[in-house]
Amino acid sequence: MIEHADPFSRRAPHACYSITESPRERRIPVLLYAIVKSQKRLLIINIFGIGDVLFTTPLIRNIRAAAPDAFIGYVCNARAVDVLRNNPDINKVFVY
């Protein structure tokens, strides 16, 4: 199933298309998927609180599924490092 979102609409959940195998599958935008697939090293920067870091964990899981061999680094603050330390989808956590 392919869902189209108008990239110029303020109501669009993201600025590109999303694709999913079934309604229960996780969604990753097609444009993001293409970018992630072509990269060997990715860095996620989130220097905010623990809650914001927790909200990015599904993103990390989807990035790892899209690019299983890529190096994924994550920049976070010292309070959130314990949340990410044992995440198997992150190769290295950098503390800001």
pLDDT digits (tens, 9 = 90+) for 32-80: 677 777 888 999 999 998 999 999 998 899 889 888 999 999 999 999 9
Say what the pLDDT of residue 30 is.
67
- Extract the runs of DSSP E, i.e. beta strands, from 7-66: 18-19, 28-29, 41-45
Read off φ and ψ for residue 52, nearest 5 degrees.
-65, -40
Q: Rg (Cα) of the chain, in Å, rounded?
A: 14
Nearest CA to 19 out of 8, 29, 6 is that of: 29
Q: Model confidence over 5-41: pLDDT tens digits? A: 444 444 444 434 344 444 444 555 666 677 777 888 9
Nearest CA to 41 out of 62, 63, 18 is that of: 63
Q: Report if pTM > 0.85.
A: no
